[in-house]
C-alpha cells in the first residue's frame, strides 16, 4: 500500500454549458455550494471559473472575491481560480492581474493558480463530419509571460499548478524550475484531451504513461491527471497506483454515461477508487503539507 495520500482536485465548472449536464455550477452561491459538497465527498482543492448568470465567462476581481469569500465561510477546501485562458486573451500577460489583486487580501488570496507552460491550438474536430469548429482559436502563453507569472506567484504567496498539455510543456516547466522561478515541490497537472479536442495526449494509459516518462527525474514534484473531454474515472486507479493524484470534475466532461452526475457524486466515486487502490484521500491540511503551500 502506498503511504502517500491522494489529492483530489475538483474541477467543477470550467466554461461548460448545461446541455449535457445540468449540474454545472455558475453563480457564486452554486460554486460555493458545490465546493462544500465536493470537500465532504473527498476533494481537498476546488478549481473554478467565475461565470455570468447566462454561463458566459466573467473576469472581474469582484466576482472572484465574492466566490472565494463564500467558499471560505462554508469550507476549508483549498481555493484555485482560473486565469480565464483563451477567453481572457485581450492581454495574455495581464491574465494574471485578477489573482494577484485577490492575493493582496488574505481573505481572498487564492491558494493555487495555473500556469499553462506553452501555447496551444484550441479548435474542435468532429470526426463524423470531418470538420473543425473554431479553427482560428489559439491560447497564447509566451515564455516571457510564463516567467512573469512564476515570479508574481511567488511574490503573491500563490502556489502555481504547472499545466502541461504535452512533453514540450513539461520540458519548459522544468526549465522554469531550473531558473529557480518555481519552488519545489512543483505541482503538475497532466492535462490530457479526448473527444473533439486534439491538442493533448489522449486520456488513455498510454497517453498518461508517455507523459510521465518526461517529468524531470531530479526534481521534487507531485502530479495530478485530468482529461478534458474524456472519462478520468478509467485512469484514476492507474494514477493511484503510480503515486499520482487526480483532478476530476463535470467542468471537463459531463459523464452522461453515468446519468450526468453532480460534482460531488463524481468525487465520491473517485475517492472510492483511491481507497480501493490503497490510497487514503488527502484533507486540505494534508494537501497543504504535501505541496508546501504557504500557511
Question: Which residue in the shown chain puts its C-beta closest to Zn ion?
Answer: 82
Q: Which of the ranges 81-89, 195-203, 237-245, 257-265 carries the binding residues for Zn ion, by CB under 5 A? A: 81-89
Distance CA 99, CA 50 (A): 12
Q: Which of the ranges 82-90, 125-133, 258-266, 267-275 carries the binding residues for Zn ion, by CB under 5 A? A: 82-90
Q: Report the nearest approach of Zn ion to the CB of residue 91 (Å).
A: 19
Distance CA 278, CA 2 (A): 6
Between 82 and 88, CB nearer to Zn ion: 82
Residues 6-25, one symbol each (x = binds Zn ion by CB under 5 A, - = not), give --------x-----------
Q: Report the nearest approach of Zn ion to the CB of residue 61 (Å).
A: 18
Between 16 and 273, CB nearer to Zn ion: 16
Distance CA 66, CA 55 (A): 17
Q: Report the nearest approach of Zn ion to the CB of residue 217 (Å).
A: 28
Between 199 and 277, CB nearer to Zn ion: 199
Grid cell locating 180? 529557480
Q: Which of the ranges 79-87, 159-167, 200-208, 220-228 carries the binding residues for Zn ion, by CB under 5 A? A: 79-87
Cβ atoms of residues 177 and 185 within 8 Å: no
Grid cell locating 142? 509566451
Is the peptide bond prior to 158 cis by the omega test (within 30 degrees of 0)?
no
Between 16 and 221, CB nearer to Zn ion: 16
Q: Which of the ranges 20-28, 75-83, 155-163, 270-278 carries the binding residues for Zn ion, by CB under 5 A? A: 75-83
Q: Report the nearest approach of Zn ion to the CB of residue 295 (Å).
A: 25
Residues 141-180, one symbol each (x = binds Zn ion by CB under 5 A, - = not), give ----------------------------------------
Q: Report the nearest approach of Zn ion to the CB of residue 146 (Å).
A: 17
Residues in the interface with Zn ion (CB under 5 A) total: 2
Q: Report the nearest approach of Zn ion to the CB of residue 14 (Å).
A: 5
Q: Report the nearest approach of Zn ion to the CB of residue 47 (Å).
A: 6
Between 12 and 215, CB nearer to Zn ion: 12
Angle of helix 263-276 relative to helix 28-41, nearest 10 degrees, comes to 20
Could you tell me which of 229, 186, 223 has the C-alpha nearest to residue 208?
A: 223
> Does residue 82 belong to the site contacting Zn ion (CB under 5 A)?
yes
Between 14 and 66, CB nearer to Zn ion: 14
Longest dimension (CA), the chain: 52
Q: Report the nearest approach of Zn ion to the CB of residue 139 (Å).
A: 12
Residues that bind Zn ion (CB under 5 A): 14, 82
Amino acid at each position: 500500500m502506498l503511504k502517500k495520500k491522494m489529492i483530489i482536485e475538483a474541477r467543477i465548472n470550467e466554461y461548460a454549458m448545461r446541455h449535457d449536464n445540468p449540474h454545472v455550477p455558475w453563480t457564486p452561491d452554486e460554486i460555493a455550494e458545490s465546493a462544500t459538497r465536493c470537500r465532504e465527498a473527498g476533494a481537498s482543492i476546488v478549481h473554478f471559473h467565475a461565470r455570468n448568470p447566462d454561463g458566459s465567462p466573467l473576469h472581474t476581481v469582484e466576482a472572484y472575491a465574492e466566490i472565494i469569500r463564500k467558499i471560505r465561510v462554508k469550507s476549508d477546501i483549498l481555493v484555485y481560480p482560473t486565469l480565464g485562458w483563451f477567453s481572457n486573451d485581450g492581454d495574455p500577460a495581464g491574465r494574471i492581474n485578477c489573482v494577484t489583486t485577490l492575493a493582496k487580501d488574505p481573505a481572498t488570496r487564492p491558494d493555487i493558480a495555473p500556469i499553462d507552460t506553452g501555447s496551444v491550438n484550441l479548435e474542435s474536430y468532429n470526426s463524423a463530419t470531418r470538420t473543425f469548429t473554431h479553427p482560428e482559436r489559439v491560447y497564447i502563453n509566451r515564455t516571457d509571460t510564463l516567467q512573469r507569472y512564476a515570479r508574481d506567484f511567488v511574490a503573491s504567496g500563490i502556489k502555481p499548478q504547472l499545466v502541461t498539455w504535452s512533453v514540450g510543456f513539461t520540458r519548459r516547466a522544468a526549465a522554469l524550475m531550473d531558473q529557480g522561478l518555481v519552488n519545489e515541490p512543483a505541482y503538475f497537472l497532466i492535462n490530457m484531451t479526448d473527444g473533439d479536442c486534439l491538442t493533448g495526449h489522449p486520456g488513455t494509459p498510454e497517453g498518461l504513461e508517455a507523459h510521465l516518462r518526461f517529468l524531470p527525474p531530479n526534481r521534487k514534484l507531485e502530479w495530478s491527471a485530468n482529461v478534458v473531454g474524456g472519462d478520468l474515472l478509467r485512469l484514476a486507479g492507474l494514477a493511484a497506483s503510480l503515486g499520482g493524484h487526480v483532478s476530476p470534475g463535470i467542468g471537463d466532461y459531463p459523464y452522461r454515461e453515468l446519468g450526468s452526475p453532480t460534482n460531488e457524486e463524481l468525487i465520491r466515486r473517485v475517492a472510492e477508487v483511491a481507497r480501493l487502490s490503497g490510497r487514503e484521500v488527502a484533507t486540505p491540511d494534508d494537501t497543504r503539507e504535501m505541496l508546501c503551500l504557504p500557511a
